Amino acid sequence: MTKTKDEQSSQPKSHESRDLYHPIFKDWWNEFINKNNPDRNRASVAKLKRLALIGDEEIAQPDVITALEITPFRSLYRKISAFEKWNELSKKNKLARENWLTLTAYALAHVKEYAEKHPASYLGSKSKKEGDKPLMNELRFIALMRAETESELFVQARRLIALLNNAPVDVGELGRSLYLWFDKKEGDRIKREWARRYYNIHNVPELEA
């Protein structure tokens, strides 16, 4: 089957996804969100943290307009749109990716520290307060995996960052995962990796499709 122009221009090869997107989100977080950066603008970070859904419940979407008013978001927008060549995308595809980027920036703004730990590994780790239960209970994790719209994923991302509770995580991976969650090529691979990490079976070799 021949790929559409949108698919050809916006989607890298699967095995390159982490190498390409991870540093973009990590570097952006370090520049604008990292509390150890004395030049970060706290007011802008606070605005990113307050981003929300707008519209009726059934058609709610991340508030892209408000996000565009925030300088750090515009910086991320320029980087991703140039990298993916948004000027070559259809209007529908571009609007969707704006929604994805907004919810991603919202989530990353809440991360306080970086560590080489996959977010799903942290969510699946045992909680001292709950005995041998994972930090995110299985039903909530399944709800995250089954999010079908940007609004549903935004709500699940809000719950996710509340559970992380300032824990150090891999911001590059969190950014890449949330941004590409609904990507036709990368989304399924990302969700499977999150499931493997959550259930601690990620060391099993992945078969090539």
What average pLDDT does range 138-164 have in this prediction?
95
Enter the tokens of residue 106: 């919202």
Least confident range of 58-67, 158-167, 180-189: 158-167
Tokens of 21: 């997107």
**Beta-carbon-side half-sphere exposure of residue 133 (alpha carbons within 13 Å):** 10
pLDDT value at 11 more than 80: no
In contact, 138 and 96? CB cutoff 8 Å: no
The neighbour count for residue 37, using CB atoms within 10 Å, is 12
Q: What pLDDT does residue 9 have?
A: 43
- pLDDT at res. 16: 60
CA distance 195 to 22: 19
> Does 20 score more than 60 pLDDT?
yes
Identity of the amino acid at 45: V
Of 52-56, 122-126, 146-150, 203-207, the range with the lowest mean pLDDT is 203-207
| pLDDT above 50 for 87 | yes
Q: What is the mean pLDDT of residues 7-22?
A: 61
Q: What is the mean pLDDT of residues 8-17?
A: 50
pLDDT at 192: 96
- Would you state the structure tokens that stand for residue 198, as one six-digit string? 């959550």
Distance from C-alpha of 206 to C-alpha of 116, rounded to nearest angstrom: 20
For residues 130-147, give the mean pLDDT. 89
Strand, helix or coil for residue 134: strand
Between these two residues, 4 and 96, which has the higher pLDDT value? 96
DSSP state letter for 169: B
pLDDT of residue 206: 54
pTM over 0.85: yes
Share of the chain above pLDDT 90, in %: 75
Query: What is residue 128's predicted lDDT score, i.e. its pLDDT?
Result: 56
In this structure, the number of other CB atoms found within 10 A of the CB of residue 27 comes to 14
Q: How many helices (H) and strands (E) does the chain have?
A: 11, 2
What band does 205 get if pLDDT is binned at 50, 70 and 90? low
